[in-house]
């Protein structure tokens, strides 16, 4: 494999350790990104489409 | 009315899931939120997984481990799985915080939960059939786990043939059926109303 992504990933993961809790930085990042996506999904306004239930104006 | 099972099934089907409910073109206003998109995103990721998986099955490992197009299809399969899990878990969080099992929707929740567990089993067997050092390491660690649970006689995770067949035949079938039933149940009952939109003193939404 070549390219910057494989360079970037081709080493053992860095681990964070807080007491009994041990998590790799990459796993923590994925979890944080999921929480951020959840928050965005809840708080971002949903675009309003056109209302096709309305009777066509005559 | 006819006593035949076909007639009984038809009547029940028409009553519980008429075509207007199966293919609606209109939803209540509260559905206009991004959080309701995650069920369909999960479904789309699953469609990509199945489509790329079928190509992998037809071409075989000699193709997908060596050629550029093969590696691309293999990566497509893998990354669709990553997105599938991300979407499914956000979908699960959404449904959990809106208590979407209200109003006789327990079975929708339960089929979702079982689909989650079978997805884990499907992904696990997927990692076991990579035929590389990664899959070898995973299976040798996992065999001790399975043996300590006492199910080693049924699942031999170091048996590549068994894992491959579970991954490409049995588990996708279970997951597919669960998904279809899950979505049909959502269609049958309609989308659950928000908690504060429910009639007072009742934990049952409109059916
Ligand atoms: C194979 C994975 C899954 C797929 C493809 C899937 C798909 C869907 C779709 C398309 C909907 C309707 C649209 C929406 O509200 O997002 C839905 C609703 C729902 N899902 Fe899932 N889902 C999956 C897993 C899960 C899981 C893991 C849970 C929770 C344990 C869950 C619980 C629910 C509930 C309770 C509803 C109904 C909400 C209502 O009636 O308003 N699903 N699902």
pLDDT at B205 over 70: no
- Mean per-residue pLDDT for B12-28? 91
Per cent of chain B over pLDDT 90 is: 84
**Ligand 1, atom 16: nearest CA belongs to which residue?**
B39
Residue B136, pLDDT above cutoff 70:
yes
Closest residue by Cα to residue B49 from B122, B112, B115: B122
Report which protein residue has its CA nearest ligand 1's atom 33. Answer: B109
- Global pTM? 0.89
The per-residue pLDDT for range A22-48, each reduced to its tens digit, is 999 999 999 999 999 999 999 999 987
Q: Which residue of A has its CA nearest to B36?
A: A41
What is the rounded CA–CA span in Å between residue A51 and residue A47? Answer: 12
- How does DSSP classify residue A14? P
Give yes or no for residue B88 CB within 6 A of ligand 1: yes
pLDDT at B201: 47
Place A56 in a pLDDT band, splitting at 50, 70 and 90: low
Q: Which of B91, B92, B185 to mutate to test the pocket of ligand 1 (most atoms within 8 A of CB)?
A: B91
* φ/ψ (deg, to 5) at B53: -65, -40
Cβ burial B98-114 (10 Å sphere, 16+ → b, else e): bebbbbebeebbebbee
Give how far B91 is from chain A: nearest CA, Å. Answer: 9
* Tally of CB atoms within 10 A around B185: 19
Per CB distance under 8 Å, which residues of A are interface residues toward B?
Answer: 30, 34, 37-38, 40-42, 44, 46, 48, 52-53
Question: pLDDT digits over B184-201, tens only?
Answer: 999 999 999 988 876 554
CA B41/CA B33 separation, integer angstroms = 14
pLDDT at B29 (0 to 100):
87
Q: Which residues of B touch A52 (CB under 8 A)?
A: 25
> In this complex, do A34 and B90 lie within 8 Å of one another by their Cβ atoms?
yes
- From chain A, the residues in CB contact with B88 under 8 A are none
The backbone torsions φ and ψ at residue B9, rounded to the nearest 5 degrees and listed phi first, read -65, -40
Tens digit of each residue's pLDDT (9 = 90 or more) over B80-112: 999 999 999 999 999 999 999 998 999 999 999
Nearest CA to ligand 1 atom 34: B109
What pLDDT, on a 0 to 100 scale, did the predictor assign at position B172?
A: 97
Q: Is the pLDDT of residue B73 over 60?
A: yes
């Amino acid at each position: 494999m070549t390219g910057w992504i494989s360079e970037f990933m081709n080493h053992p993961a860095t681990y964070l350790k807080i007491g009994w809790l041990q998590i790799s930085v990459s796993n923590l990042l994925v979890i944080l990104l999921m929480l951020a996506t959840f928050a965005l999904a809840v708080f971002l306004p949903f675009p309003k489409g056109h209302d096709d239930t309305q009777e066509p104006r005559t | 009315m006819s006593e035949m099972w076909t007639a009984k099934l038809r009547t029940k089907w028409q009553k519980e899931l008429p075509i207007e409910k199966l293919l609606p073109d209109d939803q209540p206003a509260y559905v206009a939120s991004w959080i309701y998109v995650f069920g369909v995103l999960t479904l789309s990721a699953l469609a990509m997984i199945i489509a790329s998986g079928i190509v992998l099955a037809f071409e075989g490992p000699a193709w997908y481990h060596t050629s550029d197009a093969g590696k691309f299809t293999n990566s497509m399969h893998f990354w669709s799985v990553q997105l599938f899990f991300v979407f499914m878990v956000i979908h699960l969080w959404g449904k959990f915080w809106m208590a979407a099992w209200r109003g006789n929707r327990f079975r929708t929740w339960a089929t979702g939960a079982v689909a989650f567990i079978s997805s884990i089993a499907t992904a696990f067997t997927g990692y076991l059939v990579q035929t590389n050092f990664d899959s070898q390491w995973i299976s040798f660690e996992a065999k001790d786990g399975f043996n300590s649970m006492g199910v080693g006689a049924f699942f031999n995770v170091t048996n590549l043939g068994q894992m491959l067949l579970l991954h490409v035949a049995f588990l996708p079938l279970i997951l597919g059926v669960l998904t279809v039933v899950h979505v049909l149940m959502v269609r049958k009952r309609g989308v659950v109303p928000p908690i504060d939109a429910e009639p007072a003193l009742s934990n049952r939404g409109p059916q």
